């Protein structure tokens, strides 16, 4: 009898300890030098959250502790998609789309990439997975180095054992994704897109006596106008600006995990932790996801920047192009808006290596990441404030399917409200023209112009 009492006391103490650890969100012991697990009691949506995964072997089977809470979040997202699918079925003239899948055949992980939603990052991740240990970091891989099998499916029953395989997509707020496409492919120097899309827009919407070969100064309102005009005429839209549902169709392909770019740190940590538990050969290390992504973005930007040097007219200062690279990194939240562009004089002798080192040194400095994240929102609001409200309504109709499908607001107040003038103390989309000057309001008082130049103005259109 005494023995049973002692056993009961011991068991009670053990259970109490486990419950206490769970309630406090304690990090449980793993046989690894540095491993941060997903904690269901901790919500941190900041991309500054970083984690390290490297040859980790669990000392306990903690799958239920790691998976349960976050799984519920993915189930909720799947329910939102199912409801969205029902709404879309009621919409007329809705085109069917196919899910274009990339496959890590070593682990049967299926991924449907959507441009401007971390697709390059995930292609590289899966390439590391499928390399059988030859590759260690996704940032060592170029897009040409991505080696993944491609397949197209209309329905999940076209792939054997679909339910047992891993499958995922990432989506993001549709208005933010569209602006990201402009920022990355049109505003920032990009020789290919300036020729394919920029020149088309400039020649179409500007009263020019001579056609241009490169549209290097296209404004965001001009891009929005081109998209809605093309959409309403049933034309084809470039994939970086096409609907997410035109890339991947979750109404016909039931993806197990739907990640959101707004919570990419948590979603990435969850998925990689899950796959580490499921696959013995998954080995990845992120010292600081935010900084490493910033360095990688900057390398590509500096390369694209200097590739456009020869096509810019002599009347347009190359310094403005360098400024755009700097501003792009500020809009993305890698450099503080209070850190001034480092060049004031002659930049003709600045090399790409020197500029890249300047950017890397700046990103490496300690910065307020909450403030950096706010910069992204400020830039978004500032850009959409330039778009006339009539074009905003047309754009809403274009983006509506994605908003319904993935549960985003189709009329975000921060972008549609025009009752008050926009207060601006910093111009994000700087460097579009060779000359800028500040004014307060135009003559007809229908909109408040804050900064203007010969062919570009930052205005807030009033209702």
Q: pLDDT higher for 396 or 445?
A: 396
Calculate helix-pair angle for 264-278, 63-89, nearest 10 degrees.
Answer: 120
Per-residue pLDDT of 289-340, as tens digits, reads 788 889 999 999 999 999 998 888 887 889 999 999 999 999 999 999 999 9
Segments making up each domain of the chain, as ranges: 63-173+243-286, 175-236+294-416
Residue of 96, 94, 128 lying closest to 111 (CA atoms): 128
Q: Which of 8-17, 143-152, 358-367 has the lowest mean pLDDT?
A: 8-17
pLDDT digits (tens, 9 = 90+) for 210-252: 999 999 999 999 999 999 999 999 999 999 999 999 888 888 8
Please classify residue 392 by burial: count the beta carbons closer than 10 Å to its beta carbon, then call 0-12 exposed, 13-18 middle and 19+ buried. buried
Q: Is the pLDDT of residue 374 over 60?
A: yes
More confident position, 186 or 2: 186
Q: Decide if pLDDT at 278 tops 50.
A: yes
What whole-number distance in Å separates Cα of residue 17 and Cα of residue 13? 6
Q: What is the mean pLDDT of residues 105-126?
A: 93
pLDDT of residue 285: 61
pLDDT classification of 1: cutoffs 50, 70, 90: low
At 161, give phi and psi (nearest 5°). 55, 40
Average pLDDT, the chain: 80
Region 350-357 average pLDDT:
96
Q: What are the CA-CA distances from residue 296 to residues 69, 114, 291, 373, 444 (Å)?
A: 32, 19, 9, 18, 46
Give 295's Cβ-side CA count (13 Å radius).
15
pTM to 2 decimals? 0.81
Q: Is residue 233 packed enough to be buried (19+ CB in 10 Å), middle (13-18) or exposed (0-12)?
A: exposed
Q: What is the model's pLDDT at position 179? A: 98
Mean per-residue pLDDT for 54-64? 40
């Amino acid at each position: 009898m005494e023995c049973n009492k002692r056993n009961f006391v011991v068991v009670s103490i053990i259970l109490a300890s486990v419950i206490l650890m769970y309630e406090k969100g304690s990090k449980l012991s793993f046989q690894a030098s540095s491993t941060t697990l997903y904690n269901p009691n901790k919500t941190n949506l900041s991309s500054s959250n970083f984690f390290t995964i490297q040859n980790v072997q669990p000392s306990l089977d903690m799958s239920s502790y790691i998976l349960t809470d976050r799984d519920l979040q993915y189930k909720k997202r799947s329910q939102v998609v199912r409801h969205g699918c029902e709404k879309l079925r009621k919409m007329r003239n809705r085109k069917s789309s196919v899910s274009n899948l990339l496959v890590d055949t070593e682990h049967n992980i299926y991924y449907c990439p959507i441009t401007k939603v971390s697709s390059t990052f995930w292609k590289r991740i899966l390439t590391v997975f499928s390399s059988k240990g030859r590759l260690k970091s996704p940032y060592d891989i170029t897009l040409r180095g991505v080696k993944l099998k491609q397949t197209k499916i209309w329905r999940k029953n076209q792939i054997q054992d679909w339910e047992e395989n891993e499958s995922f997509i990432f989506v993001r707020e549709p208005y933010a994704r569209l602006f990201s496409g402009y920022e990355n492919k049109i505003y920032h120097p990009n020789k290919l897109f300036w020729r394919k899309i920029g020149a088309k827009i400039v020649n179409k919407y500007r009263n020019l006596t001579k056609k241009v070969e490169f549209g290097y100064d296209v404004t965001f309102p001009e891009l929005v106008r081109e998209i809605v005009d093309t959409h309403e005429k049933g034309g084809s839209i470039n994939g970086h600006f096409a609907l997410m549902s035109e890339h991947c169709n979750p109404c016909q392909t039931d993806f197990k995990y739907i990640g959101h770019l707004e919570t990419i740190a948590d979603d990435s940590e969850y998925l990689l932790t899950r796959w580490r538990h499921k696959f013995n050969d998954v080995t990845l290390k992120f010292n600081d996801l935010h900084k490493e992504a910033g360095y990688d973005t900057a390398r590509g930007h500096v390369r694209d920047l200097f590739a456009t040097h020869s096509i810019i007219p002599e009347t347009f200062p190359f310094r403005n192009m360098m400024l755009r690279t700097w501003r792009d990194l500020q809009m993305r939240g890698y450099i503080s808006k209070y850190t001034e562009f480092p060049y004031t004089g002659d930049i003709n002798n600045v090399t790409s290596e020197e500029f890249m080192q300047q950017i890397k040194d700046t990103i490496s400095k300690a910065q307020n990441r909450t403030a950096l994240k706010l910069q992204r929102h400020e830039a978004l609001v500032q850009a959409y404030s330039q778009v006339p409200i009539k074009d905003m309504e047309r754009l809403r109709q274009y983006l509506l399917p994605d908003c319904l499908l993935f549960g985003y607001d189709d009329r975000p107040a921060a972008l549609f409200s025009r009752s008050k003038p926009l207060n601006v103390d910093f111009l994000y989309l700087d460097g579009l023209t060779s000359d800028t000057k500040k004014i307060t309001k135009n003559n007809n008082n229908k909109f408040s112009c804050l900064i203007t130049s010969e062919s570009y103005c930052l205005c807030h259109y009033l209702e």
